[in-house]
Structure 1
């Protein structure tokens, strides 16, 4: 087999355990043999549309087995998979399709597209059925690009972080070293697969071990608790908001969680009260730290330390290293770190130190070798597990004809962890209405990026050099 990448995984799994179940979606399960046959047919279909080694294949839609099938099929051809965030606006999605140069787009029916080669999931099954099951043998190097994952940009435009097959494989190894993943794992995949963590910290490690991924189209507390019991879920990944939702459910105390072995959390700091809620039920709650650009695991808190070091992001992953710069900025090095950004050599060069360490933009402290996240060098904040970059929001607000100047900061929120707070200075002689401004932003920004709080101010605080003093804005009471 000349394919050394992820595209070979369905074939390798099918020859080892053809009748084991790989995916369960809405009560229907698919075996590894079926996954291999379906991804091969899909790869053949994509090839008929002109997809070749190095081309990009995009996917737009909620969690669904077709997401994984499209990824593996693209990788059989040596193509690069581009998962898109369906929460974004049409303009944002169009930009990412154009920037990546996606040759084919497979999308859920509710997301219409004028892409010249768009396949709707409404016709997906009939289209797939016409594909040949003749296996392909395309040469794919482990160092070839596998994914382009768009992260919101500090300059108002998202950057496409490239992850190679090697990045994904080493990240899988790191996770399997940190957690004793078994062949009989049942993973609940409820976090969005277009984010790196749900894909690479849950679905891929489960797949490589021959376990079963229970895929849900959206996060729902009630159905999550039911699925954990019915499907005997053994592990899952979630962001802080998801775990807070579960612990706040009226069914929390009576829910049967006996099958759970490990709960993993990332994306934002987890309140101590949430951690205690799980530990009080005897559950292993492990946190980690990472970024899209680190595939994503940079540090991990193993089960043995989950109580003693609760609140810590853990120690560096086995096959990786972390250090702090003089400023306290966290820097990462290892085989899981991105080679750079798609078509953006300037951003790529700026992301690395002179000796090759990746600059995360986050500030941390080390205590006995354990990392604690302190703050962010950049202004990015995390709302419900989603990264929000104020520059992007500020750019959109500045397009409003009545806005002269704006500054956006993240502020604490009991539900989402953090939400946006915009300080708007209107143009002379006009009045800016907060509700009207939010309505103006609806077609321009994903809802989670739209500030919850909007303050109209006469002036913005500044440094001596004229820069806006965002720390002063963060300290203002709501």
Structure 2
């Protein structure tokens, strides 16, 4: 094949295991032969609509077989796939579509009409389909005139993923075929996936972790991916039992929901071999809850710009290096650049390797700010390194606040709060203070049935943290705001519970 990109993967796998189940959704199975055929037919359908090499094809929909088919069809044409966050409001969708210059928008009709407003005034064609029992994208597929074999290299652009936009306007992260391929290789070196794996995909596929760390490695190895439109804890536990799921991925909030689900205690998790996580460190108490069920959650560190894997804490080191993000993945290099002369073990994490994005779409200044001349990516994350070279993520540089001249990293305070057995989730933000400039405020979600007080939590931190790191106030709430990927949205925490918050502790 001339096509060395990801669009060729279904055909390559279909040569080997044509009748093997590739995708399962709503009880319907798509074999590798069917996936190759459907993506080939949709590629011809898109070509008949004028889609050319380099065009951006946007997709707005929940997890579905249609999303996977559209992604491979787009790649097969040498076009660029643009998966959209389903939680974006119409003005936000309009920004992403306009910024990317998308030619075509594929919309799952089950999401409502917000996309119609988003495309108003833009030169983008909107095509609807239904994935919830309808014909899906079949109406857009066309009879192939011949075999498509575009000369696509690993350096060609595969996808643009827009950052979640938890602060400011989202930027389009460019990922090449090579970036994603090398990321999959990194994952497969660290996680021993086989061709008989059954992976449960419940995190959104517009997010880099679910797509590049779970779905694509599973398909490359010839396993089966159970594709769920969205996450539901009880349903996940049922699917694990019914389909003998062996690979699970989730962020902290998802693993917490599973552990708190009614059927958790009696659920049969014996088929699970790998439980993967990313996005944010999992609290020690939650890790131990899963270890008691026989599973060490494998944590990694990364970001969209590194496709996303940068480091991995292997299962064998899970207990010995509890709380660490591990060491660099096989084909990546990671360094910590000190931010002060006083501490050469703590600094900004920087990543280099074939999985690192070439930059941001149409934003050369942002690209130059993020990447140096040698290709090192400045992540904006702060970590410390222990004597064995293991990274411990401290916090985002931008989330740090200064209290009385001292740097306070919210993630460090949150880890200390999580050592209290009745803390289910928490976030710490800086709020103005006339004496110290800023002080911490802890926003805490208690475990179900727990009766926490501000005094109890602050007393728990006394002796665990330096006094200047201990929050001056605590707000108890029922839930914290998360984005569609399950990540905590700190801007919303600040807006809801920051300096203008007047309600006292619950």
Shorter-chain TM-score bucket reads: 0.7 to 0.9
CA-CA distance at 1:136 after TM superposition: 0.7
Q: 2:228 aligns with which of 216, 241, 262?
A: 216
Uncovered stretches (5+) of structure 1, i.e. residues with no partner:
391-406, 417-445, 459-475
1:68 aligns with 2:68: yes
- Say if 1:220 and 1:154 are closer, same or farther in 2 by CA, change over 3 A: closer
Would the aligned equivalents of 2:175 and 2:307 in 1 still touch at CA under 8 Å? yes
Give the structure 2 partner of residue 362 of structure 1.
381
CA-CA distance at 1:134 after TM superposition: 3.6
CA-CA distance at 1:236 after TM superposition: 1.5
- Say if 1:454 and 1:180 are closer, same or farther in 2 by CA, change over 3 A: same
CA-CA distance at 1:98 after TM superposition: 0.8
Give the structure 2 partner of residue 286 of structure 1.
298
Alpha-carbon displacement from aligned partner over 1:75-99 (angstroms, at most 9, x marks no partner)? 0000110000001111101110111
CA-CA distance at 1:456 after TM superposition: 2.8
Q: 2:272 aligns with which of 256, 260, 274?
A: 260
2: distance between equivalents of 1:301 and 1:258?
Answer: 22
Give the structure 1 partner of residue 200 of structure 2.
188
1:162 aligns with 2:170: no
Alpha-carbon displacement from aligned partner over 1:45-99 (angstroms, at most 9, x marks no partner)? 1111211111100111111111111110000000110000001111101110111
Counterparts in 2 of 1:41-60, with a 5 A limit? 41-60=41-60
Larger deviation, residues 235-244 vs 116-125:
116-125
Report SS of the residue matched to 1:244.
helix
Q: 1:379 aligns with which of 381, 385, 399?
A: 399
Give the structure 2 partner of residue 326 of structure 1.
338
Larger deviation, residues 156-165 vs 352-361:
352-361
CA-CA distance at 1:251 after TM superposition: 1.4
- Say if 1:221 and 1:152 are closer, same or farther in 2 by CA, change over 3 A: closer
Uncovered stretches (5+) of structure 2, i.e. residues with no partner:
340-346, 401-409, 415-426, 430-437, 448-486
Report SS of the residue matched to 2:58.
strand
Would the aligned equivalents of 1:22 and 1:211 in 2 still touch at CA under 8 Å? yes
Would the aligned equivalents of 2:204 and 2:210 in 1 still touch at CA under 8 Å? yes
1: distance between equivalents of 2:446 and 2:127?
Answer: 36
1:120 aligns with 2:140: no
2: distance between equivalents of 1:133 and 1:236?
Answer: 40
What TM-score comes out, normalization by structure 1 length? 0.81
Alpha-carbon displacement from aligned partner over 1:407-458 (angstroms, at most 9, x marks no partner)? 9x99554389xxxxxxxxxxxxxxxxxxxxxxxxxxxxx9966443254389
Give the structure 1 partner of residue 21 of structure 2.
21
CA-CA distance at 1:130 after TM superposition: 4.0
Would the aligned equivalents of 1:329 and 1:361 in 2 still touch at CA under 8 Å? yes
Give the structure 1 partner of residue 496 of structure 2.
452
Report SS of the residue matched to 2:231.
coil
Counterparts in 2 of 1:218-367, with a 5 A limit? 218-327=230-339, 328-367=347-386
Counterparts in 2 of 1:437-448, with a 5 A limit? none
Larger deviation, residues 247-256 vs 4-13:
247-256
Report SS of the residue matched to 1:330.
strand
2: distance between equivalents of 1:205 and 1:452?
Answer: 39
The higher-RCO structure (CA 8 Å, 6+ apart) is: 1
2: distance between equivalents of 1:293 and 1:410?
Answer: 31
CA-CA distance at 1:360 after TM superposition: 0.4
Larger deviation, residues 349-358 vs 280-289:
349-358
